[in-house]
Amino acid sequence: MIDDKVLNISSEVETTLDEEDAANYYMAREIVQEVVNFGVNQITLLKIIELLALEVENREHMLALIECAKQKPVLTNSSIIT
């Protein structure tokens, strides 16, 4: 029998993963690390996200991801003290 793993996403959220899910999560993190190590800028990173979204099987998820990646940032007056 496969032992369940516990993944602590934050102090408030706890998700139980089986071995296959844990392996998939690890592989996804490795891919992200490779992309980051490649040295992509934000524009390229958003284009990668958009292109990966096209591979998602669920159409609603695909459209939501693409819409999110294509959104222009909203510029606001920052209250950061420098």
Q: pLDDT tens, 27-79? A: 999 999 999 999 999 999 999 999 999 999 999 999 999 999 998 877 666 66
Both tokens of 38, joined, read 């490649």
Q: Residue 19: pLDDT band by 50, 70, 90 thresholds?
A: confident
The domain spans of the chain are 1-39, 41-82
Please report, for residues 5, 13, 71, 76, the alpha-carbon distance to residue 47 in angstroms, rounded to integers and kept in the order given.
33, 29, 12, 24
pTM higher than 0.85: no
* 67 in Cβ contact with 46 (< 8 Å): no
> Is residue 8 over pLDDT 60?
no
